[in-house]
Structure 1
Amino acid sequence: MTPTNEPAIARFRELLQIPTVSRTDESEIQWQPFDDFLAALVRLYPRAHETLSREVVDGHSLLYRWPGARGGEDPLVLMAHLDVVPVVDEEWEHPPFAAEIVGTGPDAAIHARGAIDDKGSLVAILEAVEQLVADGFAPERDVYLSFGHNEETAGGGARAIVALLRERGVRPGLVLDEGGAVVDGAVPGVSVPTAMVGVAERGVMTVHLTAREAGGHASTPPAMPATARLARAIDRLHRHPFPTRIAPPVRAMFATVAPHTPQPFRWIFGHLAVTGPLLAAVLPRLGAETNAMVRTTAVATELSGAPGENVLATTARASVNIRLLTGDTVAGAAERVRRVIADPELEIEVRHGSDPSPVSPWRGEPWRRIAGAVRDALGEEIVTTPYIQLGASDSRWFTVIAENVYRFTPFHLTRAERDGLHSHDERIRVDVWLRGIGFYRALIAAS
């Protein structure tokens, strides 16, 4: 890092040190850090706040507008979120909200909750805007910044922003939110780094499984207690996963990377009409990410049972998190869960769900702007490719007002760094983060 970059790094670290932790039960949220974060943005980015209008939406979400010379025609929307997931302090090698810099040179990394997800993008966007304003740049199109405050839970802030823009007749020409990163080796056989730009994201739903019984003392259990029936249902879901298939965005991804692979991968990826079913069967064996590319996934998460170790559970419950592949639906997945579990006495309730997002085009001018910013700011050797965003993001709410909605985090991340998302020891290398600022500068300049 150079002295020129030190103020930007200091601003990033200060914002990472503010514990804007969101929780599913909003009554448990400490709101003062959110207020502190919003106030810090005004202080740290004075030029941006003098030039862009700012609205606080739904309590703590932010909507900025940078007027362009062409007015409201096909505006650019850059998205991020300021909330982070909770931490277990003792699991971290470095304190999660200290934002310590560990290592030197190209290995220097900032360790903090939110370093990647998603303050890395939020602060990089503001750094890019602050620099461009200082340079006297004026955009051709309107530029909006949409920063949600509860993406990790309800997403209500982003929904409120979309409702506001819709009411004002705003139809974005390009929306970019967090998503895939620049990665190495994510696709088998690919030897070049790839910028994985999500053109769609999987749907998400939660199903509650509930087994009930009369209860009693654990010394005299029935033949099939509630906990066993619940465990049997979870085991059936695990042993009978959703079928695999190659969805259109994944098909496009393989076609894009095929020229950058040796044989036999080049032939396999280039002839999916023939090889698709075999490839879909093999990919789940190569890892969790490739498995999620080709099937709807279901996994039991929260479990609850008896209140004591010597008490039979009158109610045993599990939450099942389901992520829907493009082409599947909430209704279809719920029906399959009931069929696989095959227990009419077990209660199966869809608590909430949203179908997969529409698929955005991977051709055309908006796509070329993203690919051009990747090439100009991150490296000419990087291949920009469409893919399916495996997790959910706030961008799904924007699909009702925009056709070109993409999901890309402009950081070159290792496998270990990606594993740090929502886990302990989340971190980002300083040089990688600084190059991300250049990506946002290039994208805004091209808009």
Structure 2
Amino acid sequence: MTPVERFRELLSIPTVSRVDPAEVDDSAFEAFHAALERLYPLIHARLEREVVAGRSLLYRWAGERPGAPLVLLAHQDVVPVDGQEWQHPPFAADLEGEGADATLYARGAIDDKGALVAILEAVEALLADDITPRTDVWLAFGHDEETRGTGAQAMASLLAERGIRPALVLDEGGAVVEGAVPGVSAPTAMIGVAERGVATFDLVTREAGGHASTPPRLPATARLARAIDRLRRRPFPRRLVPPVRAMLATAAPHTRDPLSTLFHRTSVSAPAVTLALSLLGPETNALVRTTAVVTRLEGSAGENVLATSARASVNVRLLTGDTLADVAVHLRRAVADPLVDIEMRHGNDPSPVSPWQGAAWRRLSRAVTDTLGPDTVPLPYLQLGASDSRFYAGLTDAVYRFAPFHLSRAERDALHAPDERIRVDAWLRGIQFYRALIAS
């Protein structure tokens, strides 16, 4: 079989994670594990494998000598396709087009089986060539990254218990893109040196209830709606945090004035830069402020019954330097209503910031330019979403988030959306990136 044929087979297995573990199809993960053993015989013959937390897979590839290992992360699970209309069946792994236009359509093509299978392809090929890494390489493939991350937590804890201190941890994250930074025309490899925290807060209003034919002046639902609108109209303040300053400073030599000067001198230009980024679009706005958006609403169980309580779930993504306590204070001030309860359901603070200089950064950068194009500019980047990598921050300060695939704007927009896809050429180059990184 070819690498693409193996990729298509693994994409066709619906390893969907659910918030309720009882709703997860265990047989899909069993089939996925069995397929991995069959498709990658050298890995399963020569690497040590452990099943952790029920479904997560942890592999150890022994190196030539002791030393700080490389840890490569990916996740087996994919998000559901419930209610989405796809032009291509989400688990058919359809291949459309030829040559440079050949594209694979499937849930997980990018998030995150693209990286997982590319890692396996790189390792299997290196084993076939009788290449042994200088130090140990660990592969850690979680099973519930899209929901709770318990698999990653368990594997990170296991490595910590064994005293393993990695030289570098790499997880999914940014990609090779164009147009991510204003004024930069060269392709940029967006390497996450930190990621925002994530939390869910509930806004809750309560009343006595009763028949909908005789509503009070301000029902629980109306009070909640007012609180939601107040929160929308009072966003978190803008700030230019160290990872974004580093991104701009690194990008500055690849821009022209006045942007080059603005990016170099953020100690002076920060107010203008943060304002511009906040107005350019949702992605750049999220680089300069903590964001909060209502994602779920709950009210009465009946059409003619007043809600005794109304609830709005607020998804919060915390900018570097903010804390969960800061968020709670801002929500209270924005809502400005003592009759609206604010409850934190779960959350974690932003990750530590990894260095964008030093041995680990140089190792990543060399792999990028050697395999993804000498004109590609590695940029430090603030990861906007959460990943399994946050659980490994206690093991090393060199935790990075980068998927080595050249993605268009439309391809990035298809993550978690209908017709998720990846171009075959971009995916194959990603395999070479992992091979170069392991061999370095």
TM-score, normalization: structure 1? 0.97
2:303 aligns with: 309
Does the 8 A contact of 1:227 with 1:305 survive in 2? yes
Count of equivalent residues: 440
Separation (CA, whole Å) in 2 of partners of 1:293 and 1:37: 36
Does the 8 A contact of 1:374 with 1:439 survive in 2? yes
Q: Deviation digits for residues 287-338 of structure 1, max 9, x if unmatched? A: 1110000100000001111122222211111110000000000111111111
Shift of 1:37: 0.5
Give runs of aligned pairs for residues 229-308 of structure 1, distance below 5 A: 229-308=223-302
Shift of 1:268: 1.2
Q: 1:98 aligns with which of 81, 92, 95?
A: 92
Q: 2:153 aligns with which of 156, 159, 171?
A: 159
Show structure 1 runs of 5+ residues with no match.
Answer: 1-5
Separation (CA, whole Å) in 2 of partners of 1:213 and 1:317: 12
Percentage of pairs with the same residue: 65
Does the 8 A contact of 1:196 with 1:384 survive in 2? yes
Q: 1:176 aligns with which of 170, 176, 194?
A: 170
2:41 aligns with: 46
Separation (CA, whole Å) in 2 of partners of 1:112 and 1:89: 16
Separation (CA, whole Å) in 2 of partners of 1:351 and 1:9: 42
What SS does the corresponding residue of 1:20 show, helix, strand or coil? Answer: coil
2:55 aligns with: 60
Q: 1:374 aligns with which of 363, 368, 389?
A: 368
Does the 8 A contact of 1:189 with 1:262 survive in 2? yes
Shift of 1:89: 5.7
Shift of 1:103: 2.0
Output the amino acid matched with 1:201: E
Separation (CA, whole Å) in 2 of partners of 1:108 and 1:336: 48
What SS does the corresponding residue of 1:91 show, helix, strand or coil? Answer: coil
TM-score, normalization: structure 2? 0.99
Does the 8 A contact of 2:244 with 2:287 survive in 1? yes
Q: Deviation digits for residues 172-224 of structure 1, max 9, x if unmatched? A: 11000000000100111111110000000000111011111112222221111
Q: Deviation digits for residues 326-353 of structure 1, max 9, x if unmatched? A: 0000111111111111111111101111
Show structure 2 runs of 5+ residues with no match.
Answer: none
Does the 8 A contact of 2:84 with 2:418 survive in 1? no
Give runs of aligned pairs for residues 136-151 of structure 1, distance below 5 A: 136-151=130-145
Q: Deviation digits for residues 64-113 of structure 1, max 9, x if unmatched? A: 00001112x11000000000001036511110000001222212111100
Separation (CA, whole Å) in 2 of partners of 1:299 and 1:268: 31
Separation (CA, whole Å) in 2 of partners of 1:80 and 1:306: 40
Separation (CA, whole Å) in 1 of partners of 2:77 and 2:227: 34
Separation (CA, whole Å) in 2 of partners of 1:233 and 1:27: 34
The farther-off stretch of 262-271 and 173-182 is 262-271
Does the 8 A contact of 1:89 with 1:95 survive in 2? no
Separation (CA, whole Å) in 1 of partners of 2:378 and 2:91: 33
Separation (CA, whole Å) in 1 of partners of 2:148 and 2:119: 23
Separation (CA, whole Å) in 2 of partners of 1:89 and 1:378: 36
1:8 partnered with 2:23 = no
Output the amino acid matched with 1:105: G
What SS does the corresponding residue of 1:400 show, helix, strand or coil? Answer: coil
1:413 partnered with 2:407 = yes
The farther-off stretch of 261-270 and 79-88 is 261-270
What SS does the corresponding residue of 1:221 show, helix, strand or coil? Answer: coil
1:24 aligns with: 19
1:125 aligns with: 119
Does the 8 A contact of 2:190 with 2:381 survive in 1? yes
Q: 1:212 aligns with which of 181, 206, 222?
A: 206
Does the 8 A contact of 1:89 with 1:96 survive in 2? no
1:195 aligns with: 189
Separation (CA, whole Å) in 1 of partners of 2:259 and 2:431: 34
1:3 aligns with: none
Cα RMSD for the two superposed structures: 0.9
Output the amino acid matched with 2:112: D
Output the amino acid matched with 1:318: A
1:69 aligns with: 64
What SS does the corresponding residue of 1:186 show, helix, strand or coil? Answer: coil
Shift of 1:31: 0.9
Separation (CA, whole Å) in 1 of partners of 2:354 and 2:393: 9
